[in-house]
Amino acid sequence: MSETIFGKIANGEVEADLVYEDAEVVAFRDLNPQAPVHILVIPRKPIPTLSDAEAGDAELLGRLLLTAAKVAEQEGIAEQGYRTVINCRAGGGQTVYHLHVHLLGGRPLQWPPG
List residues with catalytic annotation: 100
Helices and strands counted in the chain (H then E):
2, 5
Do residues 44 and 13 lie in contact, with contact meaning Cβ atoms separated by under 8 Å? no
Rounded CA separation 60/58 (Å): 5
Instruction: Compute φ and ψ for 42, nearest 5 degrees.
Output: -130, 150
In DSSP terms, 103 is beta-bridged to 39, 84
